[in-house]
Amino acid sequence: MAGYVLVLVITFAHFVPELIAITTTPYSEMIDAGLQARAANWEALSLVRLAFLNIIASFFLMVLTVPAPLLNVTPRS
C-alpha cells in the first residue's frame, strides 16, 4: 500500500505540474527542442510509473486471490 501512496505523491508532485507546464506552453511555429526533450522525458518516466503501478496492482490481485489457510479447529465433544 505504501508503494501506491508513493506513486500518488510523485504523480502530484512531478507528473501533474510538468504535464500542465508542457501543455500550456504557447504555440510556436518553430520546434522547441527543450520542450520536445521535456515531453519525451515525461513520457519515459510516465511509462516507468505505469510499469510500477502494474506490478503493485498485480501484487494486490495476487494477495486477494490466495486462499486463506485452513483453521485448525478441533470439534467440541
72 occurs within a structural domain: no
pLDDT at 72: 63
pLDDT at 15: 95
pLDDT at 75: 67
pLDDT by residue for the chain (77 residues), tens only, comes to 888 899 999 999 999 999 999 999 999 999 999 999 999 999 999 999 999 999 999 998 988 887 767 656 666 76
70 occurs within a structural domain: no
19 occurs within a structural domain: yes
Q: Put residue 49 in one of left, alpha, beta given phi > 0 → left and psi -120 to 50 → alpha.
A: alpha
67 occurs within a structural domain: no
Residue 49 CB: number of other CB atoms within 10 A? 15
49 occurs within a structural domain: yes
Boundaries of domain holding 45: 2-24+34-59
pTM of the model: 0.75
75 occurs within a structural domain: no
8 occurs within a structural domain: yes
Place of cell 500550456: 24
65 occurs within a structural domain: no
